[in-house]
A and B are shown apart, each in its own frame.
Chain A
Amino acid sequence: MDPRMCRKISSSESLPDVDNEEFEVSNIIAPQESEDNFLLEGSPEPQTVTWLDDDQIDDLNLDQTNLFFHRVDSADIIYRSKKKKCKLVGKYVMGDILGEGSYGKVKEMLDSETLCRRAVKILKKRKLRRIPNGEQNVQREIQLLQILRHKNVIELVDVMYNDEKQKMYLVMEFCVGVLQDMLESSPGKKFPQHQAHEYFTQLLDGLEYLHGQGVVHKDIKPGNLLLTLDQTLKITDFGVAEALDMFSPQDTCYTGQGSPAFQPPEIANGAETFSGTKVDIWSSGVTLYNMTTGRYPFEGDNVYRLLEAIGRAEPVPPPACVGSSLSALLVHMLKRDPDLRPTVQQIRRHDWVRSIPPLGPGERIALRVRAGVLHRERSETRVGRRRAKGRWHSSCGRLPSCRLT
């Protein structure tokens, strides 16, 4: 046994050989979920307190007879190194955590047969139940993603269920970064127009495909746009997307559940019905506005002020430095009347989209992705892991599922 590292004598594993009941106390602070166990393995702070969330406390079997504190002298603590175990789910090797959303974690995975890098969204049924419409949204996301196949739409590779752990694994294409994160780490929180153009045209390609398939995304924003290794943009998160009625000539929708800052006035004003595709056009307009200026066309101290501002539909005019061509496009996409907003095809024909804006003097392509992507094999990446929390989380929380009024 290697005495160097980091395991308390009284942790759950050594329990069976200990006769003394008192030792079982420490069981309480040992993480119960194997999921979390995996995370903590080899972590550099062995003696820190493990905070449990409500779920875990529910899980703990608090035996009254054992509820007293047993003191272990620091000299009595035997450290030993713990071998990092390889955890397999199906044919996939689980890897580092990429981010965390309200539904659960997103982790990296390696397909042990094809050696293809993948990302997996782990959904816990218990957490899902707490989110309004959570389970339906996931079902719909799976159904939609199984049909959709496009270069600019995230591909759902595999779905696995673990009934015992009440978990669902959505295996998806591996992406290195979220546009939102890149924006946040770029100077001025914006991209040079040259770079924004590159992403925006790919977003248009993806949207054109989606709308052609009769699917409205309803939550387009930089936080839902991912980039792959070769800088291909992928539209992700179809949790609130909707497949339109194939036999209806209109694209009428009834519910909007997207992120507030990207919602169009018709939803902010609580319209009963609205055009689905034009919601995506509006959100893409806000996204483009955000990518090129680093700001939002509508602002408010809180959600209600924000929605009020959107409802008035008087966007902060884009700064003069963006140029007249882009300015005109933004104004066009952010028209109050959905019918006046352009379609994807019309946007494609716009001057700003047709010609690639040159890289201005002093402008540099902002390319900042998570450290550690380049050196996957090294374990230092775990240091950056805590920081990475919330990466996939939207910057503006999603509104409750009820229609916005």
Chain B
Amino acid sequence: MFNPDINDYQLTSIVSECCGGIAVVYSAVHKPDNQNVAIKRYFVDKSREKANLIQQDILTRKELHHQNILPYLTSFVHGQELYVVSPLMELGSCRDILDRYFQEGLPELACAIILRDVLLALQYLHKQFYVHRSVRASHVLLDTQGNVRLSGLRSAASMMLRGRRQKHLHSLPPPDHDNANLMWLSPELLEQNLKGYDEQSDIYSLGILCCELANGAVPFSEVPTTLMFTEKVRGNRPQLLDCSSFPEPLDDGEMKSMYNTDSGVGDSAEGMCRVRLVYARRKLSDAFHRLTDSALHRDPEKRPSASQLLNHAFFKQIRRTDFLPSLIGRVKPIKPDHCDISALLLEEKLSDMEIEKTEEWDF
């Protein structure tokens, strides 16, 4: 098993920085059985407020066991920092994959497989009376065996309070460093009224995730937060972009008002033109459109539950032989080199320097 001891692990390289600078993810080797793992190293002292969130995250993950939820292996304190060990998801998060390889969105079949697995995770979480509250592409991790795993349980909330099941929750999830998480949240959650919200709020976030995976860009990412809020409350539903919703002849003004691809390479004008053309020329299935639309229903009661969505016609296209990593063959896995300790030496040099945030890989 995995020992809570730093000597059992050989850090090999930095995968990313996350949580607004209070944690770094390393790939590492578990020496006793030569297994690749990911280690998230928290600088707990940097922010006292977040310490109980990390604790909450670990406690929640210890309680949950599901094929599509990122397992917790062990955690320990070494020096001033807290280390949390998880399996290494070599292909990274869906957000990384979108930013680096698929600015115009993932192929529909890949979306279907990912969404099905996320729904399985949500179905399980909801059965355990948890609301995830941050379903987003950066919290969906992929590995080379074709596993899809949901992470980000830091902001999950239990509907059980003092042994009794609550019908509704009222509080906002803990704020993240740049408040980006708000873009995925449901209107009823953001409203913060007496009606509150329940697990159906996650279904709305899944609808936003549909758009994110298929379009490459997150809906509302271009508008101010307050406008995003009013648009959602008015019942404005984002859409999948294809020839039915995104006609080819476009002038710039019209483009500006719709979703933009502002992430990564898509920023350049040329890249943007290419992405637009892809949208206008492709056709996504009607089932995909219907699924997204029903998940984004303004009224949480009218949204289908996770179990109902799993029976949706959209998922019928998945064959047993479909293998996710081959559908997104362009993506290069993180390859930790056992002998290469240069990364680690580099890291020691870098430890005093600020690390640029290049990608999102939140556990």
Contacts from A to B (Cβ < 8 Å): 93, 110, 112-117, 174, 176, 228-230, 369, 373-377
Within 8 Å by CB of B172, from A112, A116, A373, lies: A116
Interface flags for B223-245 (1: CB within 8 Å of A; 0: not) read 01110011001100000000000
Chain B residues whose C-beta falls within 8 Å of the C-beta of A174 in the assembled complex? 192
In the assembled complex, the Cα of A96 lies from the Cα of B57 at a distance in Å of: 37
Q: Are A115 and B229 in contact (CB under 8 A)?
A: yes
| Cβ A376 vs Cβ B190 within 8 A | no
B179 contact from A93, A113, A376, Cβ within 8 A: A113
A115 in contact with B172 (CB, 8 Å): yes
Residues of chain A with a CB closer than 8 A to B179's CB: 113-115
Does B195 reach chain A (CB closer than 8 Å)?
yes
B118 at the interface (CB under 8 A from A): no
| A21 CB, nearest partner CB in chain B, Å | 42
Chain A residues, CB < 8 A from B225: 112-113, 115
Contact, CB under 8 Å: B194 / A373? yes
How far apart sit A149 and B195, CA to CA, in the bound complex (Å)?
Answer: 27
Q: Which residues of B contact A369 (CB under 8 A)?
A: 194
* B: contact size bracket: 20 to 34
Least CB separation from A112: chain B residue: B226
- Chain A residues contacting B196 (CB-CB under 8 Å) are 229-230
Shortest distance in angstroms between A93's beta carbon and chain B's nearest beta carbon?
Answer: 7
**Closest chain A residue to B195, Cβ basis:** A374
Contact in complex: B170, A373 (CB < 8 Å): no
Q: A112-B226, A115-B182 are in contact. Are A229 and B192 (CB under 8 A)?
A: yes
**If the complex has contacts A112-B226, A115-B182, are A229 and B172 also in contact, measured as CB distance less than 8 A?**
no
Contact with A along B16-54 (1 / 0, CB 8 A): 000000000000000000000000000000000000000
Binding site secondary structure of chain B: loop
Q: For residue A117, which residues in chain B have a CB less than 8 angstroms away from its CB?
A: 192
Interface contacts (Cβ under 8 Å), in number, total 48
**Could you tell me if A376 and B193 are in contact, using CB atoms closer than 8 angstroms?**
yes
A374 touches B193 (CB 8 A): yes
Q: Which of B168, B170, B175, B194 has the most CB of A within 10 A?
A: B194
Flag if B182 contacts A114 (CB, 8 Å): yes
B171 within 8 A of A: yes
Question: Is residue B169 within 8 Å, beta carbon to beta carbon, of the partner chain?
Answer: yes
Query: Can you identify 30 A-B contacts, CB atoms within 8 angstroms?
Result: A93-B226, A112-B224, A112-B226, A113-B225, A114-B172, A114-B179, A115-B172, A115-B182, A115-B190, A115-B225, A115-B229, A116-B172, A116-B192, A117-B192, A176-B194, A228-B170, A229-B192, A229-B193, A229-B194, A230-B168, A230-B170, A230-B196, A369-B194, A373-B193, A373-B194, A374-B193, A374-B194, A374-B195, A377-B230, A377-B233
Give every chain A residue within 8 A of B194 (Cβ-Cβ): 176, 229, 369, 373-374
Least distance between B80 CB and chain A CB atoms (Å): 24
Contact with A along B179-213 (1 / 0, CB 8 A): 10010000000111111100000000000000000
Please report the C-alpha to C-alpha distance between residue A335 and residue B309 in the assembled complex, in whole angstroms. Answer: 62
CA distance A172 to B233 in the complex (A): 24
- Inside 8 A of B192's CB, which chain A residues have their CB? 116-117, 174, 229
How far, in angstroms, from A230 to B195 measured CA to CA in the complex? 10
In the complex with contacts A115-B182, A373-B193, A110-B170 CB distance below 8 A: no
Question: In whole angstroms, what is the CA distance A93 to B234 when docked?
Answer: 18
- When chains A and B are docked, how far (Å) is the Cα of A110 from the Cα of B192? 11
Could you give, for residues 152-187 of chain B, a 1 whenever the CB lies within 8 Å of some chain A CB and a 0 otherwise?
Answer: 000000000000000011111001000100100000
What A residues does B226 contact at CB under 8 A?
93, 110, 112, 115
Instruction: Check A230–B191 contact: CB distance below 8 A.
Output: no
Chain B residues with CB under 8 Å of A228's CB are 170
Task: Give complex CA distance A112, B191 in Å.
Answer: 13
B234 nearest in chain A by CB position? A377
Complexed CA–CA distance, A375 and B188 (Å): 11
A60 and B23 alpha carbons, distance in the complex (Å): 58
B193 touches A114 (CB 8 A): no
A375–B171 alpha-carbon span in the complex (Å): 17
Q: How far is the CB of B168 from chain A (nearest CB, A)?
A: 8
Q: CA separation between A188 and B192, bound complex, in Å?
A: 31
| Min CB gap A181→B, angstroms | 15
Across the two chains, which residue of chain A brings its CB closest to B192? A117
Cβ distance A150 to chain B, nearest Cβ, rounded Å: 15
* Nearest A residue to B161, CB-CB: A230
In the complex formed, the residue of A with least CB distance to B168 is A230
Query: Which of chain A's residues have a CB closer than 8 A to the CB of B169?
Result: 230
Closest beta carbon of chain B to A142's beta carbon, Å: 21
Chain B residues, CB < 8 A from A114: 172, 175, 179, 182
| Distance of B148 from chain A, by nearest CB (Å) | 30
Within 8 A of A (CB), among B304-324: none
B180 to chain A, nearest CB (A): 11
C-alpha spacing A186/B191, complex, angstroms: 27
* Distance from A322 Cβ to chain B, minimum over Cβ atoms (Å): 26
- Asked whether, in the complex, the Cβ of B191 is within 8 Å of the Cβ of A376, the reply is yes
Give min CB distance, B120 to chain A, whole Å. Answer: 30
Point out which of B171, B192, B230 has the most chain A C-beta atoms below 10 A from its C-beta.
Answer: B192
Shortest 5 CB-CB contacts between residues of A and residues of B: A229-B170, A230-B170, A117-B192, A112-B226, A114-B175
Closest chain A residue to B228 by CB distance? A115
* Residues in chain B near residue A115, CB distance under 8 A: 172, 179, 182, 190, 225-226, 229
Complex alpha-carbon distance, A114 and B182, angstroms: 8
| Contact residues in B for A376 (Cβ distance below 8 Å) | 191, 193
Min Cβ gap A76→B in Å is 38
CA–CA, A369 and B194, complex, Å = 10
| B-chain residues with CB within 8 Å of residue A374 when the two chains form the complex | 193-195
Residues of B within 8 A of A375 (CB): 193
Nearest-CB distance from B145 to chain A (Å)?
38
Chain B residues positioned under 8 Å from A373 (CB to CB): 193-194
How far, in Å, is B197 (CB) from chain A's closest CB? 11
Q: Determine the residue in chain A with the shortest Cβ distance to B176.
A: A114
Q: Which residues of chain A are within 8 angstroms of B171 by Cβ–Cβ distance?
A: 229-230
A115 CA / B225 CA spacing, docked (Å): 8
